[in-house]
Amino acid sequence: MKKVERINTIMRYINNRSHFTISEIMQEFNISRSTAIRDIREIEAMGMPLVAEVGRDGGYFVMQNSVLPIVRFTDNEVKALFIAFMATRNQQLPYLKSRQSLAEKLLGLISENQQDDLVHLNQILLFEGTNPNNPDLLELSDLPHPMLEKLIQILLLDSYLLVTMKDEKVINSYHIYLLHLYHENSLWLIEGFDLKEEKRKIFNVDHLLHVEPFQPQTRLSKKKILEKLSEREEEINLVLELGPKAIAQFRKYHPLKVSISYTNPYQTTAILRTFIHVDHPEELAEITNWLLFLGGDIKVRAIPEEVLEGIQERLLSFCP
């Protein structure tokens, strides 16, 4: 980051706070103590009213938080925000009711020419999952499960949760430590550490009936929980590199426990790591069929012999 850009960013960081320390600036912007002090002195020289606090844990107070000009967006920044909005359509995202007010505020900040560009983009751009018969950005026909926003509000307070799920016709409650809340295959899923069974579990938010924080007798740190999981999880024995065609196939279908990690910012290459139970015939057959479904746009880095033999048998069965 260039010096001018860094100082402007630090000014915005400071302007949103009533108090800050040199250590916070160093950590936030990954700069040395001497650089942080020089930058703050330059900011003071530019007219930002800062008051130094003396003492070991001292820092700076901001006398007023309104010294920066109104935010102005560049053409590219406006397009980036608008396209990000467009990409969320029909994704069942939380806080979707706020999308209309956000879009209206964005439109109110930009010029008529910029508004015309956005109208044009709205007409010609379609994303995966968008209903082409109803591409209106402000249409709220894709509201998520009503429990999703409540879940997010609670997990911001505490990761120890009591969740009540309806599995088919049976209602069960689980004490979990929430590891991740993620969206996959048009489903919102909870990845949690079951505190009773001490293992990883996946819960479908669509089956969530109730959620509340709870106070366990012993609170484990996240580091300790991850250590327990690593002790119990099997060693990875299938590693694949996926190209764009294989990623497209992966998005169409994959076993829920399998996930990929993208290896470039354009999401055109990815790596898949998982464990295959080769002594489970049903799982072995499913994985064999699925690997053939992915197609030839993959590179195999590691694969169990049993899976490789199964693929060879399937390919031979196609030969006359």
Is 115 in the same domain as 81? yes
Is 129 in the same domain as 163? no
Share of the chain above pLDDT 70, in %: 85
User: Of 120, 144, 168, which residue sits at a domain end?
Assistant: 144
User: Of 94, 127, 144, which residue sits at a domain end?
Assistant: 144
Is 194 in the same domain as 211? yes
**Angle subtended by helix axes 3-15 and 33-45, to nearest 10:** 70
Would you state the pLDDT for residue 71? 59
Give the number of domains in the chain: 4
Which residue did the predictor score with more confidence, 179 or 184? 179
Q: Tell me the pLDDT tens digit for each residue of 240-289.
A: 999 999 999 998 888 766 778 899 888 899 999 888 877 777 778 888 88
Is 76 in the same domain as 127? yes
| Domain hosting residue 79, numbered range | 72-144
- The reply to whether 67 falls in a domain is no
Is 180 in the same domain as 197? yes
Would you state the pLDDT for residue 138? 52
Indicate the pairing of strand 60-62 with strand 50-52: antiparallel
- The reply to whether 187 falls in a domain is yes
Closest CA to 202 of 193, 212, 191: 191
Is 159 in the same domain as 208? yes
Integer Cα distance of 81 and 68 in angstroms: 22
| pTM for the predicted model, two decimal places | 0.55
Is 225 in the same domain as 252? no
Q: What is the CATH number of the domain that holds 173?
A: 2.30.30
Is 140 in the same domain as 78? yes
Would you state the pLDDT for residue 315? 77
Integer Cα distance of 68 and 48 in angstroms: 9
User: Of 93, 123, 144, which residue sits at a domain end?
Assistant: 144
- The reply to whether 176 falls in a domain is yes
- The reply to whether 133 falls in a domain is yes
Please check the confidence at residue 137 and state whether its pLDDT lies above 60: no
- The reply to whether 305 falls in a domain is yes
Would you state the pLDDT for residue 246? 93
Is 116 in the same domain as 156? no
- Contact (Cβ atoms closer than 8 angstroms) between residue 171 and residue 209: yes
- The reply to whether 186 falls in a domain is yes
- The reply to whether 136 falls in a domain is yes
Q: Tell me the pLDDT tens digit for each residue of 88-110.
A: 766 677 876 776 677 777 777 77
- The reply to whether 215 falls in a domain is yes
Would you state the pLDDT for residue 130? 61
Is 224 in the same domain as 154? yes
Please check the confidence at residue 168 and state whether its pLDDT lies above 80: no
Is 244 in the same domain as 312? yes
Is 57 in the same domain as 125? no
